[in-house]
């Protein structure tokens, strides 16, 4: 079993829909990152969380340390949100989920 | 401001040759990470450097892989006697320190071993 599990693996949504991507982990961590990888391959860090909730524009990330679970939400999704979203946990080194491929159709 | 840069952007090499990949982190960032992403696969941690401390090499897949960080800045990842399974995108990231700090990723080096 992977230490970092993401769901779903693939997600297709219509523009405007509310998106949720989930991440569960099994190790003790000091921080959790949500990364976005565009089709061209570039990776951007969206959030780094160690507790609670963060919001940036239409993106919201939450983490529940006790339940070892984090969610990434996208409100009013747009085709430009189409990318792979990767959950990564920091526990002496970085461990990555397999990613969620999001496609938002106009 | 300059982000993390990597060179070359693409490298094609023959099996058995050695390659060197370079990473220039963001100025002032003391932590530097190397990751690998094989085609269709997820990201894989290779090694990280924090300041002048001994690097954490726990993710290096074999002793053909090594990395240096000179003067606490530029890093070089060296792969000796390359194999076809080494073909991947090698990504570098830097952060202010290791731990609870945001990481900034470079564009990657796409390595193809023929």
Confidence of residue B70 (pLDDT cuts 50, 70, 90): confident
Does pLDDT of B1 surpass 60?
Answer: no
> Given this model, what pLDDT does residue A30 score?
85
Does pLDDT of B86 surpass 90?
Answer: yes
What backbone torsions phi and psi does residue A79 show, to the nearest 5 degrees?
-55, -30
A39 neighbors A83 (Cβ within 8 angstroms): yes
How distant is the Cα of B107 from the closest Cα of chain A, in angstroms?
A: 6
Please give the average per-residue pLDDT across B35-45, as a whole number.
88
Q: How far apart are CA B34 and CA B36, in angstroms?
A: 7
Neighbours of B104 (CB within 10 A): 18
B52 touches A: beta carbon within 8 Å? no
Asked if A88's CB is within 8 angstroms of B101's CB, the reply is no
Does pLDDT of B36 surpass 60?
Answer: yes
**Which of A20-24, A29-33, A48-52 is predicted most confidently?**
A20-24
How distant is the Cα of A100 from the closest Cα of chain B, in angstroms?
A: 10
Does pLDDT of B88 surpass 90?
Answer: yes
Asked if B91's CB is within 8 angstroms of A43's CB, the reply is yes
Residue of B nearest to A51 (CA): B100
Does pLDDT of A1 surpass 70?
Answer: no
Q: Which residue among B59, B89, B100 sits closest to A93, beta carbon to beta carbon?
A: B59
Residue of A nearest to B107 (CA): A42
Asked if B105's CB is within 8 angstroms of A44's CB, the reply is yes
A92 touches B: beta carbon within 8 Å? yes
B43 touches A: beta carbon within 8 Å? yes
A72 touches B: beta carbon within 8 Å? no
> Given this model, what pLDDT does residue B71 score?
80
Asked if A31's CB is within 8 angstroms of B43's CB, the reply is no
Does pLDDT of A92 surpass 80?
Answer: no
> Given this model, what pLDDT does residue B101 score?
79
> Given this model, what pLDDT does residue A91 score?
80
Tell me what the pLDDT averaged over chain A comes to. Answer: 93
> Given this model, what pLDDT does residue A2 score?
81
Q: Which residue among A41, A45, A94 sits closest to B102, beta carbon to beta carbon?
A: A45
Please give the average per-residue pLDDT across B47-70, as a whole number.
88
Q: Exposed, middle or buried by CB within 10 Å (0-12, 13-18, 19+), for A42?
A: middle
Q: Which residue among A45, A92, A95 sits closest to B103, beta carbon to beta carbon?
A: A45
B78 neighbors B49 (Cβ within 8 angstroms): no
């Amino acid at each position: 079993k992977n230490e970092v599990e993401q769901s779903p693996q693939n997600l297709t949504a219509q523009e405007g829909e509310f998106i949720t991507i989930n991440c569960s982990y099994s190790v003790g961590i000091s921080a959790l990152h949500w990364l976005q990888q565009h089709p061209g391959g570039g990776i951007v860090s969206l959030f780094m969380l160690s507790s609670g909730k963060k919001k940036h524009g239409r993106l919201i990330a939450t983490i529940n340390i006790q339940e070892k679970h984090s969610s990434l939400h996208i409100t009013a999704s747009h085709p430009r949100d189409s990318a792979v979203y990767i959950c990564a946990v920091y526990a002496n080194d970085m461990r990555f989920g397999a990613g969620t491929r999001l496609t938002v159709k106009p | 401001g300059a982000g993390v840069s990597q060179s070359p952007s693409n490298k094609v090499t023959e099996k058995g040759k050695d390659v060197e990949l370079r990473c220039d982190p963001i100025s002032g960032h003391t932590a530097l990470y190397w990751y690998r992403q094989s085609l269709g696969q997820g990201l894989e941690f290779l090694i990280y450097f924090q300041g002048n401390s001994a690097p954490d090499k726990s993710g290096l897949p074999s002793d053909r892989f090594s990395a240096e960080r000179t003067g606490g800045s530029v890093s070089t990842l060296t792969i000796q006697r390359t194999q076809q399974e080494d073909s991947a995108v090698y990504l570098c990231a830097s952060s202010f320190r290791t731990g609870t700090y945001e990481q900034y990723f470079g564009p990657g080096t796409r390595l193809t071993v023929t």
